[in-house]
Structure 1
Amino acid sequence: MPKKTIKNLGDIQGKKVIIRVDFNVPMDKKTGVITNDRRIRAAIPTLKYLLEAGASVIAMSHIGRPSGDPAKDAILKTDGVAKRLSELLGVPVKKAGDTVVGPAVTAAAAALQPGHVLMLENLRFDPREQKNDPEFAQQIAQLGDIYVNDAFGTCHNDKDASMVAVPKAMAPKPRVVGFLVAKELEVIDGLMAHPKRPMLAVMGGAKVSDKIAFINVLLTKVDHLLIGGKMAYTFLKARGVDVGSTRVADEELTAAGPLLQYVGNKISLPIDYVTAKSDDLNTTQVVEGNIPVGFEGVDIGPKTLANYSAEIAKSATVIWNGPVGWFEQPAFSKGTRGVGEAMANSHAVTIIGGGETAEAIEQFGLDSKITHVSTGGGAFLAYVEGKKFASLAQIDEV
């Protein structure tokens, strides 16, 4: 059944809305400066809708993986995202305090006026968040009148109290999804149920083992699958190609084994690749066949890019997850950029499966030319695989 959205709420004037957002943004590890605010920007339509309808908002999110050391974890406080959120919304965003819950937070929430925003501290500063702790959840639940899930990137985290135990504790109060999550579910459901054909997938990234279930699902849906990134060298090595100094773990070879039967028909591998010397990345060469000793694969080669671009051009639906090269290094970004440009210039329905691929597309300035850029890497993979999310099970159905 479809999930209720914020548009199903009716009159929310004066209501306090607890909203789980995904503000787990990349930051400079030394200064804490936000280096990419895409996830914050993605939540703005939902937040503006709630505020303009006369509600007040209590926003909560996790950031990073706190170590438990206050000094080291200082950059993971939500002060920075609260400041950036305030700039994007054009309204003050008050920080609730130094703890996720407690008397100060309860008082701040009680004093919250319509049109105002309160930001809770990093949820993971409290160890009960990742234990689905009911007491912790109840302390958050009592702060508001309505629960909104607009954090698709964490929808698969079924042990997070903010995703599961909090909405469970808020029943029978309204529990809905925001515009971001609603769009993600609509796009992915439509993509898997009624795709325009031919349907093409591009898979990159490092580990086959992490994406084996996703790849198996794709093989039942797509007409063709193009492989790039570090996982390409796993397939090549499994087929007897010498991959030089490119590291391929034994468990990756095991994971790739059952998929080799599709190579050459439904799965295409790179026919050439950019390689770099392991101890001198400035020494590169384009290789076909075996990679020389001392060199490792860092990007797809020009012939492969031309072939992949041609496949994209003749497809009606293209789904892409995982960079096809070491795009963070400008010298090794041509493959990832080229695939992105081919998608941006195509007439296909184009879907980016979140994570590093989404970051790359935005870095190259191509995101506005893509049909849909998902905000959730792991959540995107899990949802396509058909996994049921306990977080979404808590949301009211239409």
Structure 2
Amino acid sequence: MAKKTIADLGDLTGKKVLIRVDFNVPLDKVSGEIKNDRRIRGAIPTLKALLKAGASIIAMSHLGRPSGDATKDKLLTMDKVVERLADLLDKPVKKAGSTVVGPEVTATVAAMQPGDVVMLENVRFDPREQKNDPEFAAAIATLGDAYVNDAFGTCHNDKDASMVAVPAALKSVRKPRAVGLLVAKELEIIEGLMSAPKQPVLAVMGGAKVSDKIAFINALLQKVDHLLIGGKMAYTFLKAKGVDVGSTQVAAEELTAAQPLLQFVGTKITLPVDALAAKSDDLNSTQVFEGNIAAGFEGVDIGPKTLAAYSEKIQQAGTVIWNGPVGWFEKAAFSKGTKGIAEAMAGSSAVTVVGGGETAEAVEQFGYDAKMTHVSTGGGAFLAYVEGKKFQSLAQIDDK
């Protein structure tokens, strides 16, 4: 997908650039403090490049899922994000106004000088954002001379005005639209994975629900030589094969989703041979089970034999794609599997790609993010792009 990048925008001296970023960072539910700023850090190279080129920046993002109740949504303002962004850029950043668009925002933007950075309020505070509202989009579009999409994590949100209707509005007045450095890299890496990956290709799949990832799994099975399953979804496959998974909860619809994939188990798909399980009424009481899990226990991680086998397969791979933790990694006692997969990938000679979301958080938590070939910033977007879905957000960007 040959899309224009910021290098194709021409002379930006004195230009105001609207940039859609993905600053939807995890927040402490009480204080509103940012718990992980990885998504903000991901956009810094693009922002610095635009500033170096003489532009001023109008950044916009959503944050969380606002309810429409100002009291409940008070932690979802962009205030903390603005503070962190200023620290990372080492320069002042201000919020453009208390609303996403309006006279206050227009006046703030009009007063901007080259090198200035402002942030619009949480775009989802305006209900028109998720309706692709053309009037709302036009109001945002009038603020800028160019548009940059550097929000790969939200590229699959085709009904978000800031992703689709805003660049469409700029097209109507012939203003340039490009992707940022982060999105350009994501597209390059993923398209390379799908077209000419280093052989053999191995995928590791974790997470909770098979049903959520059916399309992704089917897409992977057409591309990879082998798929290793972990996480809660592993118990769905095992139960579908007749293995007793103890007190591990597996929904009926998940079993239905797994059934068509059972034909690949033992050939293209490998399931865990053992599991770490904890007592449902006492998580501190754990036991490793091979085969059936005893009643009263629920699976919380892959077992040591599975980890050893999976690690060996990773060492033999040319490319490894990983999406979804293989255990309840947030709890230290149940994190050995996920940490072990990350360690094996970091120590391999393969091209290693981590598919965003919780997996990216885990890899960073364990200190292996810098040792991966690529850690995607978009979990859902990564899945959708690999599945082959066409993104309306990218369709709005100018072709080279």
**Normalised-by-shorter TM-score class:** over 0.9
- Which structure 2 segments of 5+ residues have no match? none
In structure 2, C-alpha distance between the alignment counterparts of 1:283 and 1:82, rounded to whole Å: 44
In structure 1, C-alpha distance between the alignment counterparts of 2:52 and 2:371, rounded to whole Å: 29
In structure 1, C-alpha distance between the alignment counterparts of 2:282 and 2:150, rounded to whole Å: 44
1:122 has 2:141 as partner: no
User: Which residue of the partner structure matches residue 358 of structure 2?
Assistant: 356
User: Which residue of the partner structure matches residue 160 of structure 1?
Assistant: 160
1:379 has 2:368 as partner: no
SS at match of 2:43: helix
In structure 1, C-alpha distance between the alignment counterparts of 2:167 and 2:204, rounded to whole Å: 36
Shift of 1:241: 0.6
User: Which residue of the partner structure matches residue 43 of structure 1?
Assistant: 43
Specify the code of the residue in structure 2 equivalent to 1:248: V
User: Which residue of the partner structure matches residue 365 of structure 1?
Assistant: 367
Specify the code of the residue in structure 2 equivalent to 1:225: L
Q: Per-residue displacement from partner, 1:70-112 (whole Å, max 9, x unpaired)?
A: 1111110001011000000011001111110000001111111
Q: Per-residue displacement from partner, 1:145-184 (whole Å, max 9, x unpaired)?
A: 0000000000000000000000000011000000000000
In structure 2, C-alpha distance between the alignment counterparts of 1:113 and 1:119, rounded to whole Å: 14
Specify the code of the residue in structure 2 equivalent to 1:15: K
Q: Per-residue displacement from partner, 1:302-356 (whole Å, max 9, x unpaired)?
A: 0000000000000010000000000000000000000000000000000000000
Alignment of 1:271-350 (within 5 A): 271-350=273-352
Shift of 1:289: 1.0
Shift of 1:121: 0.3
- Give the alignment partner of residue 269 of structure 2, picking from 255, 267, 270: 267
In structure 1, C-alpha distance between the alignment counterparts of 2:106 and 2:362, rounded to whole Å: 40
In structure 1, C-alpha distance between the alignment counterparts of 2:262 and 2:331, rounded to whole Å: 30
In structure 2, C-alpha distance between the alignment counterparts of 1:265 and 1:130, rounded to whole Å: 43
Specify the code of the residue in structure 2 equivalent to 1:271: V
User: Which residue of the partner structure matches residue 83 of structure 2?
Assistant: 83
In structure 1, C-alpha distance between the alignment counterparts of 2:98 and 2:364, rounded to whole Å: 33
Specify the code of the residue in structure 2 equivalent to 1:77: T
User: Which residue of the partner structure matches residue 11 of structure 2?
Assistant: 11
SS at match of 1:207: coil
In structure 1, C-alpha distance between the alignment counterparts of 2:141 and 2:160, rounded to whole Å: 14
Specify the code of the residue in structure 2 equivalent to 1:174: P
Shift of 1:257: 0.3
RMSD value, Cα: 0.5
User: Which residue of the partner structure matches residue 244 of structure 2?
Assistant: 242
In structure 1, C-alpha distance between the alignment counterparts of 2:349 and 2:291, rounded to whole Å: 33
1:2 has 2:35 as partner: no
Q: Per-residue displacement from partner, 1:234-275 (whole Å, max 9, x unpaired)?
A: 000000011111110111001100000000111000000000
In structure 1, C-alpha distance between the alignment counterparts of 2:267 and 2:253, rounded to whole Å: 24
In structure 1, C-alpha distance between the alignment counterparts of 2:74 and 2:383, rounded to whole Å: 31
Specify the code of the residue in structure 2 equivalent to 1:298: V
Shift of 1:361: 0.2
- Which structure 1 segments of 5+ residues have no match? none
User: Which residue of the partner structure matches residue 100 of structure 1?
Assistant: 100
In structure 1, C-alpha distance between the alignment counterparts of 2:268 and 2:6, rounded to whole Å: 42
Specify the code of the residue in structure 1 equivalent to 2:288: V
Q: TM-score, normalised by structure 2?
A: 0.99
User: Which residue of the partner structure matches residue 72 of structure 1?
Assistant: 72
In structure 2, C-alpha distance between the alignment counterparts of 1:107 and 1:46, rounded to whole Å: 25
In structure 2, C-alpha distance between the alignment counterparts of 1:143 and 1:107, rounded to whole Å: 10
Alignment of 1:149-298 (within 5 A): 149-171=149-171, 172-298=174-300
In structure 1, C-alpha distance between the alignment counterparts of 2:349 and 2:278, rounded to whole Å: 35
In structure 2, C-alpha distance between the alignment counterparts of 1:103 and 1:244, rounded to whole Å: 60
In structure 1, C-alpha distance between the alignment counterparts of 2:129 and 2:4, rounded to whole Å: 25
Specify the code of the residue in structure 1 equivalent to 2:350: A
Specify the code of the residue in structure 2 equivalent to 1:219: L
In structure 1, C-alpha distance between the alignment counterparts of 2:298 and 2:325, rounded to whole Å: 16
SS at match of 1:380: helix
Specify the code of the residue in structure 2 equivalent to 1:13: T
SS at match of 2:127: coil
SS at match of 2:49: helix
Identity of aligned residues (%): 77
SS at match of 2:353: strand
In structure 1, C-alpha distance between the alignment counterparts of 2:25 and 2:103, rounded to whole Å: 28
SS at match of 1:72: coil
Specify the code of the residue in structure 2 equivalent to 1:306: A
In structure 2, C-alpha distance between the alignment counterparts of 1:289 and 1:308, rounded to whole Å: 17
Larger mean CA deviation between 87-96 and 334-343 belongs to 87-96
SS at match of 1:350: strand
1:389 has 2:391 as partner: yes
Moved over 2 A (4+): none
